[in-house]
Chains A and B, each alone.
Chain A
C-alpha cells in the first residue's frame, strides 16, 4: 500500500515561501513524476514527503494516517538520492543490508532479499566490493537495491539519473519502468528532464516556483497543456508560441502549435518565412524558420527525406485542429 496525500502543505525557508499551499494525491501504485525547471521546488516537495524537511503548515498522510510529525525513519518510504548516497565504508552487501539491519530483520531473511535484489539488478558479482570500486551505473543499482529490500510503501527518486551519461540514462530509465511494472509499488520521481517525465510517468506534476501548474497523464499534458508554461515545457522540441496580431486573429493572446502540426511548402501557405538551420535526425528533420511572427524562429518537423537549403523562402500552414489558444494570463482557452 502506498497512497500519499498532501493537504494544504506549505514550506517556507525563513521569510521565503518556496511552496505555497499545495494539495496533491498520489494513488497507490502510481508512478508520479515531479517535473519543472531547477529551483521550482520539486526536490523540496520530495524531501517534505520523505520527512527530511519539516512542512511549515498543512498535513501529509500516508495510507490515510497522518504522517506530518513522523520522522523519516518511521515513514516506511525508501529514497534514491541524486548522489546515490551509498555508505562508502561498507561493502555493497552491507549497504543493501543496512535498512534491514536497522529494522531488525533476521539474517536469513536479509540474505534472501539481498540475493534476490542482487540478481534482479545484476549485482551478484559485486556484492563484496566497496562503492568506490563501482561505476556510476552500478552505484545507481546499489542505491536502488538498498531501497527495494525495505519493501517500502513508496519509492522516492531524487533526480537519480542526472549523474549518468546519456546512454546509461536511457537504459536505467527502462530498468526503473520495468521495476515499477513488476513491483506495482508507488513511485515518486523528481526530474528536470521532461523526456524522463514523458516516458516513465503514469502521472506528471508540472511545478513552477512551488506552484503546481498542471497534473495529468503524459498525453493529457502534451495534447492539452493547461497554460503557456506547460505548453512550452512539455514536448521536445518545444511548442511554437506566437503572440501579437497573429494570435489576435484567433481571439487569443497567445497561440501555440507543435512542430509536427505545421505543414511546410515552398509555394503556398499562411505564413511566410526563411529557412534557417536544419537539423537532420534521420527519421525526422527539424527546420528553424525565421518569420515575422515571433522573435525566435519557428520549429517545424518534416520527414527525414525533406531537404531545404539555408535561406530558402517557404510558406507554413498550421493544422487548425491542433492549434492551442491561451488568454492574457497564459491560461488555455477551450
Chain B
C-alpha cells in the first residue's frame, strides 16, 4: 500500500494502539509487579503501582514450598515429552501424506483433525477408568501419552503443511542421486524442514504446558504439573496475593517467552491452515 499517512494520524494510531495493548496486558503486568511486593503491599489500599519495596521473598517462599520443584519438573516432562513423542510419530506420517498423497490423504488428514474436536468431558470416565485399570492414574507417563494424543492431530497437520512446501522434485533428485529412503529423509528432508519442525515443537509445548482438563482430572499429588499447582491456590488458604503472583509468574513466564517466538506459526497452526 503506497500511501502517505500524515504524522498526526500516526501519532493517534500509536497512542490508541499502545493504550489498548497495555490495557489488555495489564493483568499480566499487575501479576508480575505484585509478585515483587510484600504481602501487605499487595493488598494495600490504595494499591501501589511501582513505588513499593521490591522484594524477591515471594519467589523464595514459593520455591521453598515443599513441592514446587516437582510440579515444575512434571510440567517440563509432560509438555516436553508429549511434544517430542508426538513429533517422532508425526514426521513419518506427515512425510507420507505430503509426498506420497493418495485419494484418501485428505480424508485421513481431516479425520485426524476431527479427533481434536472431540469434547474431552465426553470421554472423561472411560479414560479415567482405563487409567485406573492400567495403573496410569497420576503418572507422568500416562499424562504424557494423553497430551501427545490430543495434540498429535495439530503436530501432523503443521508438519504436513511445512513438508508440502518442499518441492517433491528435490526429494526425487535425491532419489536419482542414489539416496535411500532413510538418506533422503535424513540428509535432505529433515534439514530443509528444521524451521517447520522447530515451530511445531514450540507451539505444542505451549499447548501441552497450558492444558488444564486432563492435567487436573488425571493427577493427584504425584504427577500434577503447574496447572494443578496453581489451581490449588484457589482454596481460601491460598489467599496470599504476592505469593500467588510469584507462582503464577513462574508458571507463565517460560511460555510467554516461547509464545512470542512462535506467534507467526500460531495462526496457521491453530486454524488448521484455514487462515494464512
Partners in one complex: yes
CB within 8 Å of B: which residues of A? 50, 52, 71-74, 77-79, 81-83, 85-89, 98-99, 102-103, 146, 150
Contact of A146 among B175, B177, B183 (CB under 8 A): B177
A150 to B176, CA, bound (A): 10
A-B contact pairs, 18 of them (CB 8 A): A50-B172, A72-B172, A73-B176, A79-B172, A81-B172, A83-B169, A85-B172, A86-B170, A86-B173, A87-B170, A87-B173, A87-B188, A88-B170, A89-B192, A98-B174, A102-B177, A102-B183, A103-B178
A89/B178 in contact, CB under 8 A: no
Of the listed residues A72, A85, A103, the one surrounded by the most CB atoms of chain B closer than 10 A to its CB is: A85
A215 CB to closest chain B CB (Å) equals 25
With contacts A87-B170, A89-B192 known, is A77 near B176, CB below 8 A? yes
Measured between beta carbons, the chain A residues less than 8 angstroms from B180 are 73
With contacts A88-B192, A89-B191 known, is A98 near B177, CB below 8 A? yes
A85 to B172, CA, bound (A): 8
Closest 10 interchain pairs by CB? A99-B177, A85-B173, A102-B178, A85-B169, A79-B176, A73-B178, A89-B191, A85-B170, A81-B169, A72-B175
A102/B173 in contact, CB under 8 A: no
The chain A residue with its CB closest to the CB of B171 is A85
B169/A82 in contact, CB under 8 A: yes
Mark interface residues in B155-196 (1 if CB within 8 Å of A CB, else 0): 000000000000101101111111110010001100110000
Measured between beta carbons, the chain B residues less than 8 angstroms from A99 are 176-178
Measured between beta carbons, the chain B residues less than 8 angstroms from A72 are 172, 175-176
7 more A-B residue pairs beyond the given contacts A85-B173, A150-B177, with a C-beta to C-beta distance below 8 A: A52-B172, A73-B178, A74-B178, A102-B178, A102-B183, A103-B178, A146-B173
The chain B residue with its CB closest to the CB of A81 is B169
Measured between beta carbons, the chain A residues less than 8 angstroms from B172 are 50, 52, 72, 79, 81, 85
Measured between beta carbons, the chain A residues less than 8 angstroms from B178 are 73-74, 99, 102-103, 150
Measured between beta carbons, the chain B residues less than 8 angstroms from A89 are 191-192
Q: How large is the interface on B (under 10, 10 to 19, 20 to 34, 35 or more residues)?
A: 10 to 19
B48 CB to closest chain A CB (Å) equals 54
B167/A102 in contact, CB under 8 A: no
Which secondary structure characterizes the binding site on chain B?
A: helix
The chain A residue with its CB closest to the CB of B177 is A99
A52/B175 in contact, CB under 8 A: yes
A252 CB to closest chain B CB (Å) equals 45
Measured between beta carbons, the chain A residues less than 8 angstroms from B169 are 81-83, 85
A86 to B175, CA, bound (A): 13
Measured between beta carbons, the chain A residues less than 8 angstroms from B191 are 89
Measured between beta carbons, the chain B residues less than 8 angstroms from A83 are 167, 169
The chain B residue with its CB closest to the CB of A156 is B176
Measured between beta carbons, the chain A residues less than 8 angstroms from B175 are 52, 71-73
A202 CB to closest chain B CB (Å) equals 23
A52/B176 in contact, CB under 8 A: yes
A78/B176 in contact, CB under 8 A: yes
A71 to B183, CA, bound (A): 14
Contact of B173 among A71, A79, A103 (CB under 8 A): A79
The chain A residue with its CB closest to the CB of B103 is A14
B99 CB to closest chain A CB (Å) equals 12
Measured between beta carbons, the chain A residues less than 8 angstroms from B174 are 87, 98
A50 to B177, CA, bound (A): 11
Measured between beta carbons, the chain B residues less than 8 angstroms from A86 are 170, 173
A200 to B179, CA, bound (A): 31
Measured between beta carbons, the chain B residues less than 8 angstroms from A98 are 174, 177, 179, 187
A136 to B26, CA, bound (A): 52
Measured between beta carbons, the chain B residues less than 8 angstroms from A87 are 170, 173-174, 188, 192
A72 to B176, CA, bound (A): 5
A146 to B172, CA, bound (A): 14
Of the listed residues B176, B187, B192, the one surrounded by the most CB atoms of chain A closer than 10 A to its CB is: B176
A334 to B176, CA, bound (A): 44
A103 to B177, CA, bound (A): 8
With contacts A87-B188, A88-B192, A89-B191 known, is A50 near B167, CB below 8 A? no
A275 to B167, CA, bound (A): 50
Of the listed residues A74, A99, A146, the one surrounded by the most CB atoms of chain B closer than 10 A to its CB is: A99
Measured between beta carbons, the chain B residues less than 8 angstroms from A146 are 173, 177
A150 to B183, CA, bound (A): 17
B268 CB to closest chain A CB (Å) equals 21
A278 to B180, CA, bound (A): 57
The chain B residue with its CB closest to the CB of A71 is B175
The chain B residue with its CB closest to the CB of A104 is B178
